[in-house]
Structure 1
Amino acid sequence: MIQNARVLQPEFVPRDVVHRTHEVTTLSAALDPVTDGQKGEVSFLHGPSGAGKTCIARYITEQLQESVLDLNTQYVNCWEDYSRFKTLYRVLEGIDRTLDIHRQSTPRDELLDRLRDYDGPPYVVILDEVDQLEDKRVLYELHRTRKLTLVLIANQEAGLFEPLNERLTSRLRTATRIQFDRYTVDELVSILEPRVRWGLQEDVVTTEQLEWIADAAAGDARVGIEVLRVAARRTTQRGLDTIPDEVLREAVSEAKSEIRQRNVGKLTADQRILYEIVTELGEVPPSTLYEEYRARADDPKSDRMVRNYLQKMERYNLVRAEGENRGRTYCSVV
């Protein structure tokens, strides 16, 4: 049944993208100076999870690599590489400048010096989940690097700009902003159709079933693709030739659970503490949550940073907030 499992993976970047013409055109224009060996404009892609931000950013950089003879690119997931050292290391890794760097002993300033010395071809760096950076001064340092162009990705604009100092904010405020909205059911179907065509045998799934998947995904392409992948896997395990409706229904909860577990695996140490507290208590008011967090964390972050962490986990369906102001509580998502 499965002919090409790769196209059913969430990180797969298709050769053609649909329903994002404006976003593709805008980002292409911002990066166009790179084709002449110059530094492009800083771009900021924002919108809900599964709206195509990462896919479009990687799609455009791959297109650039095909048209520009000398070009370096690098993708950094700042949820995983959230410290200043890790971010700089990953950026240097994209231009082969990590030789002799030791994660335990090399000073961070040495990484920055190596980056400042860079004088190679244009370099496009995608910083995904950029709001997760612990020290956002690294954005200023990268912005000042010669020939390095930043593509920033986050769920919300406020999550990136609110904690920044005035000097950095003034530079990033001029970034090309590209807003991504959730996909409609019809748009999600047309995203799933080529993946079915490339990844599965013919007539395995019907158009009506794809519409059902798209509706269940609620505008989130990651969920829709994961449901399709899980359903195909379950059907193959059962030795069937087509995907039954009952398998699709079972695949929805399993797909969302697998996505949630992957997101849990990306949590920082402080976020994981918060997640464990909410999971243990089931329902907890902010005051109790903050107090318990401070008791468990070695280096507790500020209340504002904790709120940012909780908002991030809400957007990725790891915790749920109920009520407002003093009546607010945080609940675990089962």
Structure 2
Amino acid sequence: MIDNARALETTHVPQDLEHREGQIDQLVTDLSPIAHGLSGEHTMIFGPSGTGKTTLAKFVVRKLQEEAFGVRRAYHNCMSGSAETAVLHGLVDDSGLGRHLPQEGVAANRYIECLRESDDHIVAVVDEVDVIDDETTLIGLSDLPNVTLILITINENDFFSDPRFDGRVRSRFNHCEKVCLHKYEQNELEDILWARIEAGLKPGVIDSYVVEYIANMAAGDAREGIILLRRATMRAIDADRTEITVADVDAVETSAREEKRQVHVDSLGTHKRTLYDIIERSGTISSAELKETYKQRVSSPKSRSTRNRYLDALENKYGLITSTGVTKGTVYQST
């Protein structure tokens, strides 16, 4: 049944991106000066979860690497580490430039120098940039002549209205290039699923009405649709059948959504994961109790404003928790 299992993974970057032609052209234009030895345009990508923001960035950078020498991609998701050194270490490590550097005990300026000293041009993709702890990290990166930034987050207004970002950040990035992605329509998501099916499965193993059913269940979220497809495929294989059915999709709906949730949980950095674990294990917990428990569990607790930003991300970006009440009366619970 399977020709290429990787094509059914959400992290797989396909050979072609469906229904993102205009955004691809825009990002290609922003990065094209790099192929001629110049700096690219710093770019921000906005859009709801599951619209392919990260895939778009990686797809276009890969395209650039295929067409030009001396281009490196550096990727980091700030949900897995949002402190300045964590962001810089993640970028340097992913680029392959700093594998000789230890993860702990390295000053931020050493990572910056590692990037600056590279003969290659680095396209630094900073995902979930809205949860970054130190906004000056972005200024330091954007000052490097051999680094072009792609910053990814959900909402443009929320990012630029964040009081943490001072005038330098706003002036530097408010007028940079912007790429906006919309949630996929039903027919668009069906096309995306068919592209994955053609790349990963043998012909004739799934009917069009089953693909339509998956797309409808995923409700415009490509990540969820791909997980549903992969899990339904695995169920059919386990049952020693050669066709994927609607019954397979129904049977894996809960586990697919749990997988999507667990991917988010596994990506959390130390402090975000600690906050989540406390809430998840408590079921329901007050803001005051959460603060005290958190401070007992970590050696260098984050400030209240930073904790609140992390909690907001856990709730509104990933849907891992919910909250009721305001300020000190807030109560958190896991979803």
| Residue of structure 2 equivalent to 1:5 | 5
SS at 1:79's partner residue? Answer: helix
Residues 107/70 of structure 1: CA separation in 2 closer, same or farther (3 Å cut): closer
Task: State the Cα distance separating 1:99 from its structure 2 match.
Answer: 6.0
Partners of 1:246 and 1:325 in 2: CA distance = 46
Question: Which amino acid letter does the alignment assign opposite residue 129 of structure 2?
Answer: V
Q: Which runs of 5+ in 2 are unaligned?
A: none
SS at 1:214's partner residue? Answer: helix
> What TM-score, normalized by structure 1, do the two folds share?
0.90
| Residue of structure 1 equivalent to 2:103 | 103
| Residue of structure 2 equivalent to 1:247 | 248
Task: State the Cα distance separating 1:264 from its structure 2 match.
Answer: 0.9
Q: Which moved more, 1:123-132 or 1:204-213?
A: 123-132
CA RMSD of aligned residues (A): 2.3
Question: Which amino acid letter does the alignment assign opposite residue 183 of structure 2?
Answer: R
Question: Which amino acid letter does the alignment assign opposite residue 136 of structure 1?
Answer: E
| Residue of structure 2 equivalent to 1:177 | 178
Residues 117/69 of structure 1: CA separation in 2 closer, same or farther (3 Å cut): closer
Task: State the Cα distance separating 1:166 from its structure 2 match.
Answer: 1.9
Correspondence list, 1:146-165, <5 A: 146-157=145-156, 160-161=159-160, 162=162, 163-165=164-166
**1:288-320 Cα shifts (integer Å, max 9, x gaps):** 434443444433323332222122112212113
- Preserved CA contact (<8 Å) 1:75 1:128: yes
Partners of 1:329 and 1:219 in 2: CA distance = 31
Residues 249/24 of structure 1: CA separation in 2 closer, same or farther (3 Å cut): same
Partners of 1:211 and 1:324 in 2: CA distance = 42
| Residue of structure 1 equivalent to 2:334 | 332
- Preserved CA contact (<8 Å) 1:72 1:94: no
Partners of 2:96 and 2:297 in 1: CA distance = 39
Q: Which runs of 5+ in 1 are unaligned?
A: none
- Preserved CA contact (<8 Å) 1:82 1:134: yes
**1:143-198 Cα shifts (integer Å, max 9, x gaps):** 01112100111123356442222222221212212222211111111100011112
Correspondence list, 1:314-329, <5 A: 314=315, 315-322=317-324, 329=331
Correspondence list, 1:64-213, <5 A: 64-93=64-93, 96-98=96-98, 100-118=100-118, 120-157=119-156, 160-161=159-160, 162=162, 163-213=164-214
SS at 1:177's partner residue? Answer: strand
| Structure 2 residue 214 is the aligned partner of structure 1 residue 216 | no
Partners of 1:111 and 1:324 in 2: CA distance = 40
| Residue of structure 1 equivalent to 2:24 | 24
| Residue of structure 2 equivalent to 1:39 | 39
Q: Which moved more, 1:154-163 or 1:318-327?
A: 318-327
Residues 136/66 of structure 1: CA separation in 2 closer, same or farther (3 Å cut): same
Residues 50/198 of structure 1: CA separation in 2 closer, same or farther (3 Å cut): same
